Structure 1
Amino acid sequence: MTLLLAAFGIVLLGAVAQAVSGFGFALVTVPLLAALIDPRGAVVVSALTGFGLTVVAAVRERAYARWPVAAALAGTALLGLPIGLLVLARAPERALNATIAVVVLGCVALVWSGARIRTGRVGLGAVGVLVGVLTAATGTNGPPLVAAFHSLGYDPRTFRATHAATFAGTGVMGLVGFAATGQVHVDTVRTALVALPAVPLGWWLGNRLFHRVDPAVFRRIVLVGLLGSAGTALAGLAS
């Protein structure tokens, strides 16, 4: 019961971060859930609980999304998905935990530095493939999208909407891939079902903050939280 309540709280934090900053759900939930259960279970639970969040956000914010960009990214993500599924199935747990921590730290570095990448057709295609790999391998597939959308100069609402639209597509692919490779188990489904009510609650809280708090300020708060999340994953490695 303690584990399930902790999972509820972790998913709540992730949903709030996603609603306000436009990213952060998996980056918050996966490392923290991995400290409670195993990293493979953490990736699947995060995907199961976060899928509804991204679909609802994509529908509600559809007028602000850049749909051609989201479709191109989701399409090329399909090319990287098999590689990510192979990593998830074959990599040792310690290696997965290390990868999760590195990806989270990489996201913090990208956002904090304001790094930009080439956003032409080839550049976005490469981002999409990397998103596909990370979707299946670690669930923490936001960092390349953060850099790409920052380079495209999206305002906070367009950023959030296009992010959700992209994740709606990659989320379907990820869940199908997890089911097809036998990564969905009874324990992960039970944990996801208990934590699921935290998603609309967290989105509601985050939406209220989105209209009251400077997004740049909250983004910095999210980044500090992500450092703690990555620290948790690294602490798990040390133990």
Structure 2
Amino acid sequence: MLLLLTVFGVVLLGAFAQAVSGFGYALVTVPLLTVVVDPRAAVVLSALTGIGLTLVAAVRERGYARWRVAATLTGAALLGLPLGLLVLARAPERALSALIAVVVLGCVVLVWSGVRLRTGRAGLGAVGVLVGVLTAATGTNGPPLVAAFHSLGYDPRTFRATLAATFSGTGLMGLAGFAATGQLHLDVARTALIALPAVPLGWWLGNRLFRRIDPLLFRRIVLIGLLGSAGTALAGLAG
């Protein structure tokens, strides 16, 4: 019961972060879930509970999404997915935790420093391949997208909508990969089903806040969320 309540709370917090920033779900849920389940189960559990959230968000915000960009990134992600599945299946648990910490910290540095990524077709393709690897290996595929979309200068609503569109495609591919490689277990699916009601509740709470923030505050929320996730990942690694 304690395990299920913890998972419910983590999913609630992740959905809230996703509604406010557009990308926080996996960055919040994966590191926190590794406290109560193994890293592989955490990645799959996060993917299962989060896919409905991103699909609904993509449909609701479809008028604001840059669909051509999302399609380019999703297509390129398919190339990186097999490597990510291999890492998830073969890497030691501690190595997976280290990878999560490095990815999150890397994104903090990119966004905080204001580094502009190459966002032409080749640049977006490279970002997409990396997203594919991270989708399967750690579930934390948001950081390179966050940096790329900040470089493109998207306003908060376009930012959130295009992320949702990209996450929908990569999330479905990731779940198919987990099922094909035997990572989708009955116990994980059962836990995800119990925690699922936390998703709409967290989204509703976060969406109320999202409507009341300006672009500058939005950027600060992005950075604070990333720093918190990085700290959690590092704490888990140290332990």
Name the residue aligned to 2:183. 183
Q: Give 1:93 shift.
A: 0.2
**Following superposition of structure 1 onto structure 2, how do residues 145-160 of structure 1 map, counting pairs within 5 Å?**
145-160=145-160
Instruction: Tell me if the contact between 2:101 and 2:230 (Cα under 8 Å) persists in the aligned partners.
Output: yes
Instruction: Tell me if the contact between 1:32 and 1:232 (Cα under 8 Å) persists in the aligned partners.
Output: yes
Q: Deviations for 1:85-136, whole angstroms, at most 9, x for unmatched residues?
A: 0000000000001111111112222222222101111000000000000000
1:24 counterpart = 2:27: no
Q: Deviations for 1:141-189, whole angstroms, at most 9, x for unmatched residues?
A: 0111111111111110000000000011001100000000000112211
Aligned residues: 239
Q: Give 1:214 shift.
A: 3.1
The percentage of aligned residue pairs carrying the same residue is 83
Name the residue aligned to 1:224. 224
Q: Which moved more, 1:120-129 or 1:101-110?
A: 101-110
Amino acid at match of 1:81: L
1:130 counterpart = 2:126: no
Give the whole-Å Cα distance in 2 for the aligned partners of 1:112 and 1:140.
Answer: 18
Q: Give 1:45 shift.
A: 0.5
| Structure 1 residue ranges without an equivalent (≥5) | none
- Using the size of structure 1 for normalisation, the TM-score is 0.96
Name the residue aligned to 1:165. 165
Give the whole-Å Cα distance in 1 for the aligned partners of 2:159 and 2:37.
Answer: 32
Distance 1:46 1:214, change over 3 A: same
Give the whole-Å Cα distance in 1 for the aligned partners of 2:236 and 2:160.
Answer: 31
Q: Deviations for 1:177-229, whole angstroms, at most 9, x for unmatched residues?
A: 00000001122112211211111111111111011233532543453343333
Instruction: Tell me if the contact between 1:20 and 1:215 (Cα under 8 Å) persists in the aligned partners.
Output: no
| Structure 2 residue ranges without an equivalent (≥5) | none
Q: Which moved more, 1:24-33 or 1:211-220?
A: 211-220
1:196 counterpart = 2:196: yes
**Following superposition of structure 1 onto structure 2, how do residues 10-89 of structure 1 map, counting pairs within 5 Å?**
10-89=10-89
Q: Report the 3-state secondary structure (helix = DSSP H, G, I; strand = E; otherwise coil) of the residue aligned with 1:63.
A: coil
Name the residue aligned to 1:107. 107
Give the whole-Å Cα distance in 2 for the aligned partners of 1:177 and 1:43.
Answer: 12
Give the whole-Å Cα distance in 2 for the aligned partners of 1:49 and 1:193.
Answer: 8
- Using the size of structure 2 for normalisation, the TM-score is 0.96
Amino acid at match of 1:6: T
Q: Report the 3-state secondary structure (helix = DSSP H, G, I; strand = E; otherwise coil) of the residue aligned with 1:64.
A: coil
Instruction: Tell me if the contact between 2:47 and 2:171 (Cα under 8 Å) persists in the aligned partners.
Output: yes
Instruction: Tell me if the contact between 2:88 and 2:137 (Cα under 8 Å) persists in the aligned partners.
Output: yes
1:214 counterpart = 2:217: no
Q: Report the 3-state secondary structure (helix = DSSP H, G, I; strand = E; otherwise coil) of the residue aligned with 1:62.
A: coil
Instruction: Tell me if the contact between 2:31 and 2:236 (Cα under 8 Å) persists in the aligned partners.
Output: no
